[in-house]
Structure 1
Amino acid sequence: MSSDPWGRVDETGTVYVRTADGEKVVGSWQAGSPEEALAYFERKYEGLVVEIGLLEKRVRTTDLSAKDAQAAIGHLREQVDAHHAVGDLDALRQRLDKLVATVEARREERKAQRAKQSDQARKAKEDLVAEAERLAQSDQWRAAGERLRALVDTWKGLPRLDRKSDDELWHRFSHARSAFSKRRKAHFAQLDAQREEARRVKERLVAEAEALSGSTDWGPTAARYRELMAEWKAAGRAQREHEDDLWNRFRGAQDVFFAARSSVFAERDAEQSENLKLKEELAEEAEKLLPIGDLKAARAAFRSINERWEAIGHVPRDARPKVEGRMHAVERAIQEAEEAEWRRTNPEARARAEGLTGQLQAAVDKLRAQIDQARAQGNNARADKLQKELEGRQALLDQALKGLQEFGG
């Protein structure tokens, strides 16, 4: 009989292994010595040790699923429980029990991790949906469209949720994208309609501008061109392929008209500058009539100057007030001299002036007599009152006398 710490072979060739529950039959060995039998079943034990070691490493270092790990542990446990090996089988059972606990802990850890990842994915998708719904109301068509496309790529990279949650969120996300696309399509359809209407309006404006380009009715035509420009700006932009061509035609028609007007105005300005020079010379000639001495000669000379003045055409608008003002000053001086002459030679006016002077002189003389009488009677208050009245009448008398002198009196 042969034995070692974990097993023995009896005289019949039966091999036993020692366990905590007592000896268990391993098998029968008839082919050789008892030592060979123990060595064979010890190698079986070492094989189990190696397999358990490898499974422990796989559980620790790989992503072996809990299901596969439990199946491998069950297979090894069956081999250990079959007692077809000699060694510390109880230690192997303990290692397998520990490995079961490790696999279960890893399973719970992965379950928690998956739950966390699912929560994160749900939050990420909810955020994507909320942003997509905000973008669905945006009028920033290019930027919002590009952002929505980026959100789709982000969505595809996220883990799926449970079918119900994932379908609900995707429905909201897809609806937001569809709503944005519908609004954008409607916007550009409206924009196309507006641009087509702008094209029709601008073609009409171009036709009128080209028809006016040969006009010589400078003022009204220039005013109409300004109105056409205001209408052009109010019409908005036409399609890009039409806008530049229409603008070039519209602007070209204006340029033809304004170039012709500028040429005519340049000639007119030169003519008016020469007219101004001539009128300044006449104004200087008229000013030499001042001060008025011989009224009749001055009147005749001014009439001659004015006739030549009227024969001269327009002068530049900004110079007109000054040069005309010089002529008007001479004309007023002649008119004032004529008025003075008329007053001086008018018999009726002279008679009225002499009559008024006589009346005032009589009143003044009467007041002086009344003052002398009042003072002689000692009535100074009455005398003072009459004195004030005398001063007023005297002032009127002095003015009347001055007027009478203008008549040569």
Structure 2
Amino acid sequence: MSSDPWGRVDETGTVYVRTADGEKVVGSWQAGSPDEALAYFERKYEGLVVEIGLLEKRVQTTDLSAKDAQIAIDHLREQVEAHHAVGDLDALRARLDKLVGSVDARREERKVQRAKQSDEARHSKEALVVEAEELAQSDQWRAAGERLRALVDTWKGLPRLDRKSDDELWHRFSHARSAFSKRRKAHFAQLDAQREDARKTKERLVSEAEALSGSSDWGPTAARYRDLMAEWKAAGRAQREHEDDLWNRFRGAQDVFFAARGSVFAERDAEQSENLKLKEELAEEAEKLLPITDLKAARAAFRSINERWEAIGHVPRDARPRVEGRMHAVDRALQDAEENEWRRTNPEARARAEGLTGQLQAAVDKLRAQIEQARTAGNSSKAEKLERELEGRQALLDQALKGLQEFGG
């Protein structure tokens, strides 16, 4: 018979293992010596030790699920309980029990972790839903659309919640996206309609602009082009594929008209510049008539100058007031001279002037005599009053005498 601390072989070849509950039959060994039998079943024990060690390491260092770990523990426990090995089986049971505790702790830890992840995922999805619902009201179509697509990608990367919660949040999220898409589609449909209206309006404006391009009615046509441009701006933009072509046609028609007008105006400006030079020479010739010494000769000379002036034609608008003002000044001087001559040679006016002068002179003489009498009588108050009256009459007399001198008298 052979034995070791954890097992023995009796004389019949039966192998036993010692446990806390007493000896347990391991098996029967008839092929060799008892020592060989013990060595064989001790190797069985070492194999269990290795497997348990590996499982402990997997539980500690890998993401082995609690379910798979428990299956592995149960499998090893069945082998230990089968007593087909010689060694400290109670120690193996204790290690397996401890491993069960580790797996349970890890299961609870993962449960807490999953609950935390689920809570975080819920908050994240709720935040995505709120943002999506806000974006659903946005008019920033490109930016909001891109952001909603990014939110979908973020959603897909989050863990699922319980079915009811996940479905409710997804329904809100999906509804927000659909609402935004519906609003965007309606907006662009309306925009397309507006652009089509703009295209039709601009087609009409282009047709009119092209019809006007050959006009030589410069003023009204230029004014109409300004009105067409205002209508063009008010019409809004047409579709991109039409807008540039319509604008090029519209602008091209205007360019044809304004180029023709510019050419005509350039010729006219050159002609008017030459006219201005001629009229400035006539104005200078007219100004040499001043001061007027011979009214009849001056009037005849001015009439000749004016006839040549009228025959010349238009001058540039900005120069017209200046050059015409010079001629008007000479004309006014002639008119003033004619009026003075008429007054000087008018017998009736001379008689009236002489009569008025005589009346004023008599009144002045009378006042002087009255003043002298008042002073002689010692009435200084009356004398002062009469002197003030004399000052007024004397001023009128001086003015009348000056007018009478204009008649040469």
TM-score for both structures, normalised by structure 2:
0.93
Q: Which region of structure 1 is more displaced relative to structure 2, 271-280 or 138-147? A: 138-147
TM-superposed deviation, 1:223: 0.6
Deviations, residues 58-117 of structure 1 (Å, cap 9, x unaligned): 212222221221222223223323433322222112111111111111111211222222
Q: Which region of structure 1 is more displaced relative to structure 2, 63-72 or 82-91? A: 82-91
Q: Which region of structure 1 is more displaced relative to structure 2, 23-32 or 373-382? A: 23-32
Q: Which region of structure 1 is more displaced relative to structure 2, 369-378 or 99-108? A: 369-378
Q: Which region of structure 1 is more displaced relative to structure 2, 194-203 or 239-248? A: 239-248
Equivalents in 2 of 1:107, 1:281: separation in Å? Answer: 115
Three-state SS of the structure 2 residue aligned to 1:86 is: coil
Q: Which region of structure 1 is more displaced relative to structure 2, 73-82 or 172-181? A: 73-82
TM-superposed deviation, 1:288: 1.5
Three-state SS of the structure 2 residue aligned to 1:26 is: strand
Three-state SS of the structure 1 residue aligned to 2:333 is: helix
TM-superposed deviation, 1:27: 4.4
Q: 1:308 to 1:31 in 2, by over 3 A?
A: closer
Deviations, residues 313-345 of structure 1 (Å, cap 9, x unaligned): 111111111111111111111111111111112
Q: 1:206 to 1:33 in 2, by over 3 A?
A: closer
Q: 1:82 to 1:245 in 2, by over 3 A?
A: closer
Structure 1: state its 5+ residue gaps. none
Equivalents in 2 of 1:198, 1:52: separation in Å? Answer: 83
Instruction: Note if 1:202 corresponds to 2:178.
Output: no
Equivalents in 2 of 1:39, 1:255: separation in Å? Answer: 112
Match of 1:139 in 2: 139
Deviations, residues 16-73 of structure 1 (Å, cap 9, x unaligned): 4333344444445555544344333323322221221121122122222212212222
Q: How does 1:5-404 map to 2 (within 5 A)?
A: 5-11=5-11, 13-29=13-29, 32-404=32-404
TM-superposed deviation, 1:227: 0.7
Structure 2: state its 5+ residue gaps. none
Equivalents in 2 of 1:85, 1:267: separation in Å? Answer: 125
Equivalents in 2 of 1:192, 1:145: separation in Å? Answer: 19
Q: 1:84 to 1:242 in 2, by over 3 A?
A: closer
Q: Which region of structure 1 is more displaced relative to structure 2, 272-281 or 117-126? A: 117-126
Identity over aligned residues, as a percent? 91
Equivalents in 1 of 2:215, 2:318: separation in Å? Answer: 26
Q: Which region of structure 1 is more displaced relative to structure 2, 238-247 or 102-111? A: 238-247
Equivalents in 2 of 1:294, 1:50: separation in Å? Answer: 148
Three-state SS of the structure 2 residue aligned to 1:250 is: helix
Q: Which region of structure 1 is more displaced relative to structure 2, 85-94 or 289-298? A: 85-94
Q: 1:45 to 1:332 in 2, by over 3 A?
A: same
Q: Which region of structure 1 is more displaced relative to structure 2, 335-344 or 378-387? A: 378-387
TM-superposed deviation, 1:14: 4.7
TM-superposed deviation, 1:213: 1.6
Q: 1:47 to 1:324 in 2, by over 3 A?
A: same
TM-superposed deviation, 1:4: 2.1
Three-state SS of the structure 2 residue aligned to 1:400 is: helix
Q: 1:39 to 1:274 in 2, by over 3 A?
A: closer
Q: Which region of structure 1 is more displaced relative to structure 2, 369-378 or 193-202? A: 369-378
Deviations, residues 130-174 of structure 1 (Å, cap 9, x unaligned): 222222222222232223223222222222221112111211221
Three-state SS of the structure 2 residue aligned to 1:25 is: strand
Three-state SS of the structure 2 residue aligned to 1:147 is: helix
Q: Which region of structure 1 is more displaced relative to structure 2, 28-37 or 196-205? A: 28-37
TM-superposed deviation, 1:188: 1.5
TM-superposed deviation, 1:359: 1.9
Equivalents in 2 of 1:237, 1:30: separation in Å? Answer: 104
Equivalents in 1 of 2:259, 2:121: separation in Å? Answer: 71
Deviations, residues 269-306 of structure 1 (Å, cap 9, x unaligned): 12212221221222122112111111112112212221
